Amino acid sequence: MPTPHVSSQVMKEGHGKHWTQAEKDARDAAALLVRRRKAKGLHPPSWLSKEALIIWRRVTKSIDGIELLDNIDTELLAVYCDTNAKYKALARKTLLDEDSTKALQAYARLIKSYADSLGLSPAARARLVKKKADKIQDDFGKEFD
């Protein structure tokens, strides 16, 4: 079984195995290679429907000012919005047959999965808050070392 990926932050905090300084330095250097100098804004792709574009604008407005998503997340967010729009269109139907009900359930699972991946669900936000709180607590503890 392959070794799970570990971020440089996790390595610094000392979680998992004992990391050598060389391993920590190598991971920091690699992390810098993928970090953006300046975050780029999110722009919806041209293929989004009007309904999906409304959802896109609502989501991007609600996360404005939070460094949560970057331009690289555009396609994933677009699929989330498109799936959400399809779910809403199907849910508006008054009578649903068995296939439509199954499609609604599939859309709901996809929406939840994409929301978790994008940090838009309550559970994902709670994980982000915990991670931030752990970092603040670690920084506070450094004063007493």
pLDDT value for 38: 57
pLDDT value for 10: 54
Per-domain residue ranges of the chain: 1-35, 40-142
Q: Which residue has the higher pLDDT, 101 or 2?
A: 101
Number of CB atoms found within 10 A of residue 69's CB: 19
pLDDT value for 50: 96
Q: Which residues of 112-145 are buried (b: 16+ CB within 10 A; e: fewer)?
A: eebbeebbbbeeeeeeeeeeeeeeeeeeeeeeee
pLDDT digits (tens, 9 = 90+) for 18-74: 777 777 777 777 766 656 555 567 889 999 999 999 999 999 998 887 777 878 889
- Residue 6 scores a pLDDT above 60: no
pLDDT digits (tens, 9 = 90+) for 88-131: 999 999 899 999 999 999 999 999 999 998 888 888 877 777 76
Residues 6+ apart with CB under 8 A from 39: 67, 70, 71
Q: Provide the 3-class DSSP secondary structure of residue 70.
A: coil
pTM over 0.85: no
Burial class (CB in 10 A: 0-12, 13-18, 19+), 23: middle
**Tokens 């506070």 belong to residue:** 140
Q: Provide the 3-class DSSP secondary structure of residue 49.
A: coil
